[in-house]
Amino acid sequence: MSAPKTPPPKRLKVFVGDFLEKNSEVPSEASCNDAHISVPGNLKSMKELKLDDDNEQKSQSDTIIDIDDGSQETIGEELTVTSNDRKNMSGKRPNSPLDYDRHSAYASAASKSPKRFYSSGGRAVVKCTPFLSQIISRTIAGSDSEVTPTGGTCSTRLAENDSFNDSNNVHKVRTGKTPPSQRRIYRLPVNLNQTPGEIPSDMTRFPQDAVWRTGAMEDSPNHTILVKGPFDASGDTPCKAAPSILVDRWDNHHVKMPYSLFSKYTDSDGTVVPRWDIVQRALVETMHSFDDLREAILSYNGGYSWDLNELENVIEEMSSQERADFFNTILPGIVRLALNLPTICTRPPPLLAQGHTHSVTMSQQQAASLLANAFLCTFPRRNTSKPGSQYDTYPTINFHTLFNSCNKPGRQDCRKEKIKCLLNYFKRVTSEMPTGNLTFTRMRFRCRIGWADSTTKFKKAFVTSEGFIEDQGQGMLMVDFANRRVGGGVLCDGCVQEEILFVIYPELIISRLFVEALDDDEALLMTGPERFNEYTDYSDNFRWRGNVFDFRDRDHWGRKYTQLVAIDALKHQGRKQQHEQFKIEKIMRELVKSLCGFQTPGFPRSAVATGNWGCGAFGGDARLKFLVQWMAASRAGRPLVYFTFGDHELMCQLRSMQKLVTQQDITIATD
């Protein structure tokens, strides 16, 4: 982001009046609906918003935010001055402690979690104006000050050696220490009296996106197509597998398929036989109980003693009719899908390895057959991903990790609900097989990105606290807040945004079979998955809530007009790491990662539907991640729709940032 080229100022200012609607009034007392927002100050153009000379003409009654030139790394904080502050200040001895009261919603939160903030100058500045609700650039050094809660406000007591000057209505408190490695946080006024509103109609959605206007369904050096085209939109059968004869490969560039003759197993009599023979012999037997199912799975996974207790618990909690349906209909259907893999998928999918851009297109039937084998744990060499194992850089795929006992309190229900989602998927596809196709594309961003001198302006953005990416973001490029191993903990204890996406769109799970862990300049684009499940809530409270029938149209390749992109954010767990996310190299990494995901082929491009990417357990700052994704989407020529998932205050904060950027008409340049 950058402003028009100007000589670098020594000190910059931003007038709060610039952020307020014209003719708006600032109340004499800050109401409980007022708040302030922290804006990361690492990008130079955010500091070059207003020059001192431009602000000379402003009335003294304007409330201002001081913005340093960034020559030193700082963190700043603003306080709201109450009507009693002047009275509290008067009559104090020059060297006596001073109390500043913070009030409003921000003060209440601050009093619950006292924090110290620092700046390069080691001073606190109070600019007294007719506004009794003001923003103060507070720069009190470390151990020389302390914050103590006092009832509904938070009082800051300054050290005895602090100085106080009452001349010219400017009060400065000087202290001696300055932590060298922290950065200033700028604060903007935030109006909390806002409504979420409707997503604007000009936010581009599919199928306007030209990415769908693709050529013939034919193999190419960068695209492996496992089916024969063209897709028959009027037909009721899936595309046939390509080639028509079985191709058996056992190498480091393709998935090692369960039916491969190179996969050997020692039988009970000591003879070495193809493992697929053992699998077929175990699964063709009729299974009437969970014990029969577990015995069958363990028979071709020697050396393991999986209990599969969570799957057992789900089956035991079924009604008698549901249990009968499972053993008489659903499970036999899963077995048929698995054993028919040699005719459904006649060649192994290529591994989408790090450092390469490549696509794989398969039918929904092929995905279902591969997932059926994952359900029955038949994939060879994929029962562990421990360091040093053959697939230690790939996610797990066999479902035993989901079915086994959960040792984390509160996560048993989460696992069971995810299993219900998957059983519902198999119930659907075994009764009526979908006929479409889907594509997985590993994308690597190879060219150098000229962020420093970019002239790209910020595209449109809309922030809302209502709705969800997978619902209100339909027809947009939906962002999967991914783990670098795609799917994250979907096949174990995870149950946040990515894992939920992978169980309501179960076909996404098959990407774990062939997608290696993502590198810093890579993303995974998933095109055409069908949604099967409805859900409520999140994490430990996640619950399956029945079927979803996805009636979205298909393109001429048979893919649903649904597109998700998996991008993995950096982890910033712990207080020290949370500060590090504001370092320029960390920000640049996130910019490259986001742009890699958003820079898909074709124009015009749909809007990006995203939210608090890399926040929550990853420790990211939502305000910073909003700016990063907005910059990347703008560079990719896409508008942005940002969902805060019910966080009204965050919505208002981000809208304040958006308003500032829009008013200043700045670019996305970082210098």
Task: Decide if 413 is catalytic.
Answer: no
Length of the chain: 671
Between the CA of residue 222 and those of 318, 350, 353, 474, what are the distances in Å? 46, 11, 12, 28
d(CA 466, CA 642): 10
Q: Which residues pair with 220 in a beta bridge?
A: 223
Whole-number pLDDT of residue 12: 29
Is 483 annotated for ligand binding? Answer: yes
Domain ranges of the chain: 11-191, 223-438+480-578
Q: For residues 469-488, b (16+ Cβ closer than 10 Å) or e, as one string?
A: bbebbbbbbbbbbbbbbbbb
Tell which residue, 529, 526, 506, has the closest CA to residue 518: 526
d(CA 153, CA 109): 9
Task: Decide if 248 is catalytic.
Answer: no
Whole-number pLDDT of residue 212: 56
Whole-number pLDDT of residue 262: 97
Q: How far is CA 140 from the centre of its chain?
A: 35
For residues 325 and 431, the answer to whether their CB atoms sit within 8 Å is no
For residues 628 and 498, the answer to whether their CB atoms sit within 8 Å is no
DSSP labels, 441-479: EEEE--S----TT--PBP--EEEESSS-HHHHTTTSEEE
In terms of Cβ atoms closer than 10 Å to its own Cβ (0-12, 13-18, 19+), residue 234 is: exposed
Q: What is the pLDDT of residues 312-327, one digit of tens each?
A: 999 999 999 999 999 9
Whole-number pLDDT of residue 89: 39
CA angle 663/666/670 to nearest 5° reads 140
Whole-number pLDDT of residue 38: 42
Residue 513 one-letter amino acid: L
Catalytic residue among 499, 507, 516, 530: 499
Whole-number pLDDT of residue 141: 30
Task: Decide if 498 is catalytic.
Answer: yes
Is 538 annotated for ligand binding? Answer: yes
Q: How many CB atoms lie within 10 A of CB 408?
A: 11
Using 70 as the pLDDT threshold, list the residues of the chain that sit under it: 1-187, 207-214, 602-604, 670-671
For residues 556 and 231, the answer to whether their CB atoms sit within 8 Å is yes
Q: What is the pLDDT of residues 176-225, one digit of tens each?
A: 444 444 445 556 888 999 999 999 988 888 765 545 556 788 899 999 99
d(CA 57, CA 52): 9
Determine the longest span between alpha carbons in the chain, in angstroms.
Answer: 97
Phi-psi region of 122 (alpha: psi -120 to 50; beta: other; left: phi over 0): left
* Residues in contact with 324: Cβ distance below 8 Å, sequence separation at least 6, in sequence order: none
Q: Which two tokens stand for residue 647?
A: 């966080």
State phi, psi for 443 to the nearest 5 degrees. -115, 135
d(CA 561, CA 384): 35
Alpha helices by DSSP H, listed for 30-103, are: 44-47, 52-55, 85-89
Beta strands in 309-436 (DSSP E): 358-363
Q: Which two tokens stand for residue 536?
A: 């409520």
Catalytic residue among 34, 101, 470, 480: 480
Whole-number pLDDT of residue 603: 58
Is 547 annotated for ligand binding? Answer: no
In this structure, the strands spanning 64-68 and 11-15 are: antiparallel
Whole-number pLDDT of residue 14: 33
Q: Which two tokens stand for residue 69?
A: 């030139």
Q: Which two tokens stand for residue 9?
A: 């100022």
Catalytic residue among 310, 470, 498, 621: 498
